[in-house]
């Protein structure tokens, strides 16, 4: 019996393979530069959220995307 893999909307096996290939071929220096660039974004932010609040934050984000 084979199990069917279910991907999120907009994703398929080819996209997953491309993402894996990107990160597997990335040097340590490239990975660090990518991480640092993410923290310099002017349109998004990174913050710590207590684990118990994660479901509420996800719900708020989902409502914002939908509305």
The pTM of the full predicted model, rounded to 2 decimals, is 0.54
Average pLDDT over residues 39-55: 90
Average pLDDT, the chain: 91
Quickly tell me which residue has 């994660």 as its tokens. 54
CA distance to 3, 21, 30, 59, 60, per residue, from 18 (Å): 22, 5, 17, 29, 30
- Residue 8 confidence class, pLDDT cut points 50, 70, 90: confident
């Amino acid at each position: 019996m084979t199990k069917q893999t279910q991907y999120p909307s907009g994703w398929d096996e080819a996209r997953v393979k491309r993402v894996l290939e990107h990160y597997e071929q990335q040097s340590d220096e490239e990975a660090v530069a990518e991480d640092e660039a993410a923290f310099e974004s002017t349109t998004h932010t990174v913050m710590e959220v207590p684990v118990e609040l994660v479901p509420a934050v996800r719900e708020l984000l989902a409502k914002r995307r939908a509305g």
